[in-house]
Structure formats: C-alpha cells, structure tokens
Structure 1
Amino acid sequence: MSQLKKGVLISYVNILLTNVVGLLLTPYIVRSLGNSEYGLYTLIGSVVAYLSLMDLGLNHTIMRFVARYRAVNDTEGEKEFLGTTMLIFIAIAILVVLIGLWIYFNLESIFSKSLTVEELVKAKVMFLILIFNVAINIPGSSFQAICNAYEHFVFPRVVAIVKYLLRAAMVCGLLFMGGKAITLVMIDTVFNILVILVTAFYVFYKLKVTVSLARYNTSLISEIFGYSFWVFLFAIVSKFQWNSGQVILGINNNTLTVAIFGVGIMLGGYYGAFADAVNGVLIPKATQMVYSGKKGGELTDTMIKIARMNGFLMFFILSGFFLFGKTFVFLWLGKDYLESWLIALLIMIVLTVPLLQVFGNCILEAKRKNRFKSVLSICLVSIAAGISFFITKQYGIYGAILPLVFTVSLNNLIMNLYYKKIFEFEIGKFFKNAIMKSLIVYGIVSLALAYLLSLFQISTWLMLFLVIAAYAVIYLLITFFLLMNKSEKELILSRIR
C-alpha cells in the first residue's frame, strides 16, 4: 500500500481516535473542572487560537514548494528555501510572543464584564503558558509539513495518534489527582515539545533533509509570501469563523454559554476534521496534476471519486447525528448542553459540501488561485461576526451561530460558481454523481427512521448503542447495494479479502 493510501487510512484512524477519546474524555473534564472553569478553558483556548495562525500559511507553502523542488530534483533550491522559511518562522515566533504579551496585559479590560477576579487570574496564567506553546509550535510544525512534502505521511500521523492517547491518559490521571484547567494547558505544552523533537529527528536522520539557517535566499521571500499570504488569510478566516462566537459570547454573556457553544463547535469540528486529514495528503497529488497539465474534466473526475468515498462515511455521521445526536448529548453531558446538539448539527450540514470538495481546494492552492476564496471568506465571516456581536446579548447562542451558518452557505454557493468559471470544473456533474443520489436516499431513510424513533424514548446508553448498531447495519446495506458502483464495491470486497 502506498504512503498516500496509508496516510489517508491512518488519518481516518486518527480522526476516529480523536473523536472517540474526545467524546469519552470531555464529560470527565467538564465534571472535574465544573461548567464555569471548563468555559474559561474553552474561552482562553479560543483567544490563543488566533495567535497560532501567525505561521502565515507557511506550512502549506512548504508542502507546495518542496514538492515542486523534488519534482525537478533541485536539491540546492530546496535547501535555500527551507533555510529561508525557518528564519521567517523564528521571526514570527518572536512576534507572537510580543503580541501575546500585549494581549496578556489587556485581558482584564477585555473580559472585565464577564469574568470574575478569580477567573481572570487563572485566565492570565493559562494565557502565558499557551503563548509559549504557540511560539515553539510555529517553527516546530514545519517538520510535519516537510514529511508531507516528501510524501512520508505515515510517521507524523502515527506520532499524532500516540501523542493523543498518552495525553488522554495523563489528563485523566492528573484531573483525578485534583488538577484544573491550568494543568491541561501544561500537559498540552509538554506533549507539543516532545512531538516537535521526535518529528525533527525523523526529518533530519530518516529523510536526510538539511535545514541550515546559513542557507537562505532573500529573493525567495516575496515568492513565499505571495503564495502563503492567501493561505494565511484563509486560515484566519477559518479560525475566526469557528472561534469568534466563543469570544463574543465570552464578552457579552457568561462562561456557561461559552461552554455550551464550545461543545457544539467541538462536535462540529470533529466532523470538519475530515477536510484537514484528506487535504494534507492530497496537496502534493494536486500539485503534480496541475504541473502535468490536467484539465477541468479530469480534475472533476478525480474530485468525484474522492467525494463519493468520503461521502459514504460523512453522510453516515451526519444522518446518525441527526437521528441520535440529541439523545447522545443528553446522556453525555446532561440537559444543560442540549443546545450543543443543534449548533453541531448546523455546522455539519453547512460543512458537508466543502468537505466533499476538498480536492477542489487543493487544486485552488496548487494553482495559486486562493486569493479570491480568502477575500470572499474574510468579507462574509466579518459580516457574520459583526451581526453576532450585536444580537448575542438578546439571542445568546443562536445569535452567534445563525449568521455564521448563513454566510458559510453563501460562501459555498459562490465558490462553486468560481470553480466552474476558473477551473472549468463540471459542477453539475459533480453534484449529480457525488451527492444527489446519496442525499435523496439517505434523506428518505433518515426521515422515516426519525418518525419511528419518535414513537419511543431512548433513555440509557445500552439502548442508544443498540439502535445505533442497528442503524449502522441498515446504512451499510443501503450504501453497498443501492449507492456504490461496481469499482467501489470491488474496492471494499478486495480490502475484506
């Protein structure tokens, strides 16, 4: 099995573990910290998340440029490029510390109306630790980008799985011993350092990559930022899109509201993780297709193949969450968090089409045509955040999520028109072959089952697991016999054999 296929498979395993462990761990964390401190932990994490974007999109740039240098066997050019980007990373890390310290000294004025004195003290300690975490992660994350560019997808993903499992075990142990939110951020920082060291060792001693600060080329800087700036801008939009609501609720409401909204964003984020998992391994492939001169029809066919296989899994998650998500959230965290189900469901719905078109986004980056998407997204998300800021005082959580859902839907519509015009993607063909039949079949089945489920109440975990298992069997049978084509069936059967 190739590194690409292994990388996708392990990425899915990573997502599955992240989801399962996260779902098991979250109620324990909430009960150990309490709703207020968990909301504080979520709030500070959301604020610091913006600083993590200061890598300026350079990791995507590394994947694209190193893949290009390897395609033409330009070893010297690769060394100069990596030396230049590492110097840029170090400068950015210093800038992150300076900006972080400025925010640190202004935290009291930002959250004075919503946080107590005790909460502000804890917030400032967590913020300092997380600033350090982000500052070391910005240059450190470049090593995983190098692995991806070399199409060595397996090692960094295995490391991520091991890290996540060890982190979960340590979180459980330290919270059992009385640890609080500050403990969690310290654990994350320690594991972050360890992963950077292990991945760097792999890059230098296994891949034999040379990164020398003495090998830099200032003429590359404008080319690097000419590409990375638009990736960076879109990353800002994406992060702002999902974290702005928590910050706005933290300013206008209270930590409990932030906690409820944060759980919904987390559940929606698990669903959205499929884009990152597949995106990371498809960028080199997309770059190669672009440089080999593939046109709109061939690119569309590739996108359809990827979307169909991803869609079978994603529609299962989406329809399952529609049917059983509310009951799950009630049993998982209690009635206080029931609104998290609707928030997560709305996020999943509006993310489905972009996730299925993830290959289109890879082509967008490979052709350096991501400027339009970045500008469009930042305009729409800014409008959504502005509306949310003024209506969350009256409408709370729904004032934060509804403007966001509307603007993301509008973004999806405009981007499909853009794909058709610029890349000559056959969008009608894509929706017909990749989405429509599955949407109709799964929609009818889900509505019929929703009616049957309304006739009785699921009140225990055992009942929930049994009905989910029964639904999984029904879903698999429908998918295999009604929706999969001959080649997809053969692929599944060959894997089973």
Structure 2
Amino acid sequence: MKRLSLLVKGSALRGLESIVAIACGFITLPIMLNGLGKDMYGLWVLLSSFTAMMYLFDLGFASAVTRNITLAISKKDSAGANKVINSALLIYSCISLLIITFIIIAATSYTPELVSGVSENDYQLVLCLIGFGLALDFPSKAFAGIFSAHYRYDIQSTYKIIFKLVHTGLLIFLISADYKIVAVATLTASLSLLDTIVFVVMSKYVFREMKISTIFIDKFQILDLYRFSVWALVIDVGSMARSRMDLFFIGSFVSYTAVSIYYIPVRLVDYSLQMLYRVLGITLPIFATHVSDKSKSSLVADVLIIGRINAYFSAVTIAFYLFFGKILLSLWMGEDYDSETGYIILLILIVGRLSMLVNDPLNNCLYAYGKHALLAAITVFEISLMLAGLVFSSMILEANVIAIALSMSIPLILSRLIFYPILAIRKLEISDGFRLMVLVYRPLLVVLPLIPLQLYVASLNGGVWVSSVIAAISVSAVFLLYMFIEIKDREKNIILKLLSLVGWRRNE
C-alpha cells in the first residue's frame, strides 16, 4: 500500500479513535461527577494528575526511542532497531520499578485532607493502584516508533478503540452499581496491564524482525538515547506542567469543587487537541525521511502545507467553541454547572493550546534533526511566564479561575506564534522564513470577522436553538467564502481525505 494511502488511512482511524474517546469521555465524565460527588471527583482528578506526573520518570526517552526506531527502520536496519528496542526495554523496566517504589513511599508517608467517604486506607490503595497501572505502561514505550515507522497507525488505533469501549462500558457498570474510586482505580490498573501486553503483541506483528534478547542490549545505544533525551525531558516536564499545574494551583488555593468546575472546560480542550493531534500529528516519520534523504526543499514544502492545514483545523475549532461552547457546556453538565464561567475559561484555554498546534511541524523538524534543545528552552520560558501569572493571580486577583486560565494561555500565544517560529526557522536554516510564517498563519484570519458575528448572535432573543441555527448558517457561509479564496488545491485534497474514513480507498 502506498505511503500516502497508509498515512491518510491511519490519520482517519486516529481521528475515529479520538471521536470514540471523546464520546466516551462525554458519557463518563458527568456519570463519574454525579456518581462520586464533586468533592470525591475533585480528589480523583488530583490523584490522577499526581500519578500522571510520574510520566516524568520517562526522562525524555520516549522521544529518543521513537526517533531512533523510525530512523533505523527507514534505513531498513533491523539489527539497529532491535538494539534500540532492547536497550530501551531495559531502561523502562528499571523506571517501572522506580515508579512503584516512589508511589508506595508517597502513599504511606503523606495523607492529604480527605473528603467524606474516603478513608486513609482507601486513599493509599487508590494512589497505589493508579501508580502501578502507570508503571505497567512504561515497558511498552520501548516499542514506540514501530507503528509510525511502518505508517501503521491504523492497526494501533483499531485496538485502542476496542480498549476504550471496553473501559467505558466497565466504568459505567461500576459507577451504576454504586462502586467508588477504589473499584475505578482497580479497573484502571487491570486494563493498563492488558493494554501493555496487547501493544507488545501488535508491535511484533507490525515489525516481524523484532527480537527480544539481552544480546541486543547496547551500552552505546543507551548513551545515544540519553544524549537525545536530556532536552526531551525538559520538554516533557513543560508539557506536564502546562497540563496540570493550574489544577494543583486551584486545588491548593481554592477548593476541590472549583477543580471540578475548571476541569470541565479543560477536558473539552483536551478532547479537541487529542482529536486534532491524532488526525494531524503523524508527520515525524515524514520529516525523518527528509532528514535521511537530506532533502531540505521537500521538508520546507511539507512544513508549509502541514502548518496551513493545522491552521485551518485550528480556525474551525475556535469558531465552533466561540458559537457553541456555552450551549455544549449547558447541555453536557446540566443547569447546576456554571456554564458562563466555563465558557470563558474554555475560549481562553483553547486559543492558547491551539497556538501550539499551528507550529507543530516545526517541533517535528527539530526532533528529526536532533535540534530540539531550542524547544526545551522555549518550554522553560513559557513555564516561567505561567508561574509568574499564577503567583500574580494568587496575590492580586485572589486566585480567580479566569485569571488562572489567562496565566496558562497568554504565554503560549506570545511564545508559540511569535518567538518560537522565528527562532526555529533560524535553527533549521530555512530561507524566507517570514513569508513561510505569513502563509501558515493566514488561514487563522477567518476567526476575526466571526467575533462581531458571535456578539450579534448572542444579542438575539430567539432562544437557544434559533440562535444556534443562525450561528451555524453564518459560520458556514463565512468559512466557505474564505476557504474558497484561501485554500489551495493540494491542501483541499488532503483535508478531504482526512475528513473521510474511506477517502484513502479512492486513491490507491
């Protein structure tokens, strides 16, 4: 099957995977919130966020493993790929033991203020179960890059869809039967182990030359992974901080209930970014091939077209939440939820996070060339600004949740749309970089006329559904007109393929 066909097929199935995950999340989140209660669900969010921070024990190796496996397989070097896999497996096995040890110490040495209905033993057991489940996931990271190197995202996404449906069904059963967070944590740990086993089996199916043996463990490969992973670790720490530190800040200075309110728009943003990255974030093997072939012109051409496509999808996402975000929050969470505050937080967060998506092709280029130290420096800069904003919101604005959202988004907008692309283009030695940035950003301009249009629609008194119909017609007209003028033929063809689960078949 042609590479483009595999990529489009994989992209479409990754999109379907995200749709399934989002649908499952929409179903389970209110069920868990109502079944566990706001306080207990807020505690569950914080415990899950704390254990998720254990991914920092990855030390940036996942990016290095993915890159090295992709490069080895692209060169048809099976022995080299096996050295990467087995060396990484040794590293991740040690990391898993380290995480288990750390979680046990954390669970037995510190007990936070607990909500009613949760005993100290329950807290310790839940923390250990979630942590063990995460630790069991680490060995599978040694096989990262196999699916992408073979362009077989379709196989990976298919089994992920099955797992998500099984997990959702069992979770709904547990909550409906009035089980609490201990049972939910047990389910999470059990499925995490099963997921790792299936992932290894599927990796062997895709990469039939794969062998697991100590003879392939190579100290030089370990050193090479370490050298690459140092800066990747900084990037991973930054990613973790961006996704969690606002929640910890609210949990510490406001309340568990405020965490639950803030977490709802956070989940919508996560769902959206998950969907977009699953569909669009498949470019690393493409750029790795260009690096291997030393084809700078092809690389720049792909940066341009992929960046513009990312910008198109970002504009559509912003427009959707601009007009329908408040309605979606109200219908999803019910009348008891503060949808007005949630809507404002949603818009602030989605704009900030999408600013990262637009220039994601530059990230993959830096990784492919091994020049990701720049991305690490930018990440440190962003986190520093975020922390300063959070401190300011605490001291001056009394930890206002909207101010916290602004503290998380403004640094991303400034950094990712202005400073980072300029520095990345220089680092990659891309000529005529300013023109490249202008062409990539132009699709975002469609959002500007939609802002006054939204204000007009919001002022109408025709009811929710009448306003929604008017908004849908208006937004569609603006987008169609703008895209007819702006979009290029090749971009249109790729977008149409990405939007169709069967589109790839017509071009084989």
**Please, what TM-score do these two structures have when normalized by structure 2?**
0.88
Tell me the SS of whatever aligns to 2:370.
coil
CA distance in 2, matches of 1:17, 1:472: 26
The RMSD of aligned alpha carbons is 2.7
1:493/1:71 Cα in 2 relative to 1: closer, same or farther (>3 Å)?
A: closer
Kept in 2, the 8 Å contact 1:57–1:229? The answer is yes
What is the identity, as a one-letter code, of the residue corresponding to 2:351? I
Per-residue deviation at 1:298?
4.1
Q: Deviations over 1:289-340 (max 9, x none)?
A: 1222233x54333122113333333311211101121222123223534223
Aligned to 1:351: 353
How far does residue 41 in structure 1 lie from its aligned partner after superposition?
1.1
Give the aligned partner of residue 364 of structure 2. 362
What's 1:453 paired with?
A: 458
SS for the counterpart of 1:118 is coil
Structure 1 residues 34, 93: closer, same or farther in 2, change over 3 A? same
Q: Secondary structure at the match of 1:398?
A: helix
When residues 427 and 20 of structure 1 are mapped into structure 2, their CA distance, relative to the original with a 3 A threshold, is farther
Q: Does residue 226 of structure 2 align to residue 225 of structure 1?
A: yes
CA contact (8 A) 2:28 2:168 kept: yes
Q: How does 1:171-186 map to 2 (within 5 A)?
A: 171-186=171-186
CA–CA separation in structure 1 for the residues paired with 2:450 and 2:393:
37
Structure 1: distance between partners of 2:83 and 2:375: 30
Contact 1:126 1:182 in 2 (8 A): yes
Which residue does 1:273 correspond to in 2? 274
2:42 pairs, out of 26, 30, 39, with 39
CA contact (8 A) 1:130 1:185 kept: yes
Partner AA of 2:409 in structure 1? V
* 1:381 counterpart (380, 383, 391): 383
Q: Residues 226 and 235 from structure 1, CA distance in 2 versus in 1: closer, same or farther, beyond 3 angstroms?
A: same
Distance in 2 (alpha carbons) for counterparts of 1:248 and 1:463: 39
Q: Distance in 2 between matches of 1:31 and 1:277?
A: 30
Q: Distance in 2 between matches of 1:390 and 1:453?
A: 32
Secondary structure class of the residue paired with 2:118: helix
Contact 1:43–1:247 at 8 Å: present in 2 too?
Answer: yes
1:284-299 → structure 2 map (5 Å cutoff): 284-295=285-296, 298-299=298-299
CA 1:157–1:128 in structure 2 vs 1: closer, same or farther (change >3 Å)? same
Contact 1:392–1:399 (8 Å) recurs in 2: no
Task: Tell me the CA shift for residue 388 of structure 1.
Answer: 1.9
Match of 1:61 among 60, 64, 69: 64
The Cα of 1:255 is off from its aligned counterpart by 0.6
Q: Distance in 1 between matches of 2:480 and 2:185?
A: 44
The structure 2 residue matched to 1:434, chosen from 431, 440, 457, is 440
* CA separation of 1:370 and 1:408: change in aligned 2, threshold 3 A: same
3-state SS of 1:211 partner: coil
The residue correspondences of 1:401-440 to structure 2 (distance < 5 A) are 401-412=405-416, 413-425=418-430, 426-436=432-442, 438-440=443-445
Distance 1:27 1:493, change over 3 A: closer
Partner SS state of residue 151, structure 1: coil
CA distance in 1, matches of 2:453, 2:24: 31
SS of the equivalent of 2:480 reads helix
Once residues 144 and 81 of structure 1 are traced to their aligned partners in structure 2, the CA distance between those partners, rounded to angstroms, is 10
Which deviates further from its counterpart, 381-390 or 330-339? 381-390
Deviation of 1:449 after TM superposition, in Å, equals: 3.8
**Distance of 1:471 and 1:175 partners within structure 2:** 41
Aligned-pair identity (%):
18
Give the equivalent residue in structure 2 for 1:241.
Answer: 242
In the alignment, which residue of structure 2 is the partner of 1:216?
A: 217
Residue 262 of structure 2 aligns to which amino acid in structure 1?
F
Structure 1 residues 21 and 315: alpha-carbon distance in aligned structure 2, compared to 1, 3 A threshold: farther
1:89-128 alignment, distance < 5 Å: 89-108=92-111, 111-112=112-113, 118=118, 121-128=121-128
Are the structure 2 counterparts of residues 122 and 475 from structure 1 closer, same or farther at C-alpha, using a change threshold of 3 Å?
A: farther
Q: Shift of the alpha carbon at 1:274? A: 4.8
TM-score, normalization by structure 1: 0.90
User: Aligned to 1:395, what secondary structure does the other structure show?
Assistant: coil
CA distance in 1 between counterparts of 2:116 and 2:35 reads 20
**Deviation (angstroms), 1:473:** 4.3
Distance in structure 2 (CA, Å) of the matches to 1:493 and 1:407: 33
Is residue 96–residue 135 contact of structure 2 (8 Å, CA) maintained in 1? yes
Query: Match for residue 259 of structure 1?
Result: 260
Q: Are 2:18 and 2:274, in contact at CA under 8 Å, matched by a contact in 1? A: yes
* Equivalent AA in structure 2 for residue 222 of structure 1: L
SS in 2 for 1:25: helix
Unaligned runs of 5+ in 2: none
Q: Aligned pairs, how many?
A: 490
Q: CA offset at residue 407 of structure 1?
A: 2.2
Look up the SS of the partner of 1:105 in the other structure. helix
Deviation at 1:197, TM superposition (A): 1.6
**Please, which runs of 5 or more residues in structure 1 have no aligned partner?**
none
Deviation at 1:246, TM superposition (A): 1.0
**Structure 1 residues 40, 68: CA separation in 2 closer, same or farther (over 3 Å shift)?**
same
